Amino acid sequence: MQEIILGIIQGLTEFLPVSSSGHLALFSKILGFDPNVSFFAFLHLMTFFAVLLFVYKEVWFILKGIFTGQKDAWNLALKIIVSSIPAAFIGILFEEQISEAFSSLKLVGLFFLFTSIAMILSDRFNGKKDLMNISYIDAIIIGLFQAASIFPGISRSGFTLFGALLLNTKKEAALKYSFLMSLPVTFGAGLLEINKVNFTPAVINSGIATFIFGVLGLYILKKTVINGKLKYFGYYTIIAAIISFII
C-alpha cells in the first residue's frame, strides 16, 4: 500500500511544480518507508510514458525529421540533448550526495523554498520566443536549471519552466520544451536503476498509479501555466517547506 501511495504522489507531483522528489522524501518519512533511489527512478520512468501522451506530436516531428533530414527537427533534437547534459553530469558526479539529500528533510525544506521563489516569480514572465526560436545558449541555461532539480525539493518542471520564461519564451513553448527535455532524463535515470528494482505486485501497481496520475498532473500544469497561476504552487511549497522543517 505504501508503494501505491508513493506512486500516486509521484504521478501528481512529477509535473506539478512542487517537486516530486521532495514529496517522495517527505512522505517516505511520514509513512516510514525507507527511501529507495531505484524505486523512485522506476516511478520516474513511468512518468516518461505519461509525457509521451502530451508531446507525441513534437516527438513524432523530431523522429520523422531526423530520418528525413529536416533541419528544424535536427536542431530541436540537438537542443534537447544539450539541455540534458548538465543533469546527467550532476547526477553521475553527485550520486552519493543526492541519495543523502533524500534522507535530510531539513535540506528538502530548504530546496522547497527555492521552488517557491521560482514559482511566485514565474507568473510575471511571458516572452515572445516559440519552440523553434530557443537557442543553443538557451538550451544550456535551461539545462542548468534542470540539473539543480536533481536534488529533492527543487521542482524539475518548475525550474525548467522558470528558466525558459526568464529567457523570454512563450508560456506554451516553455511548457512543451520542459516536457520534451524531461524525456531523456527520466528515461535514462529509469534505465540505469531498473535492474535494481524488485518488481513485486505492489511496485507494479505503483507504476500504473504513477502513469495515470502523471497524465492528470500534466493536464493541471498545462491549464495552470496558460492561466498564469503558478504562484499558487509557490505558496503550497512554502507550506511543504515548513512541514519538512518541523518533522
pLDDT tens digits, 70-95:
999 999 999 999 998 888 777 666 66
Distance CA 109, CA 159 (A): 16
**pLDDT category of residue 200 using cuts at 50, 70 and 90:** confident
Distance CA 225, CA 1 (A): 32
Domain range enclosing 217? 2-246
Strand ranges (DSSP E) for the chain? none
**Hey, how many other C-beta atoms are within 10 angstroms of the C-beta on 166?**
19
Q: Which three cell numbers stand for residue 47?
A: 512518468
**pLDDT category of residue 98 using cuts at 50, 70 and 90:** low
**What is the overall mean pLDDT for the chain?**
82
Domain total in the chain: 1
**pLDDT category of residue 96 using cuts at 50, 70 and 90:** low
CA diameter of the chain: 56
Q: Residue 213 has what pLDDT?
A: 87
Q: Which three cell numbers stand for residue 173?
A: 513553448
Q: Is the pTM of this model over 0.95?
A: no
Strand ranges (DSSP E) for 33-110? none
Q: What percent of the chain has pLDDT over 90?
A: 25
Distance CA 135, CA 139 (A): 6
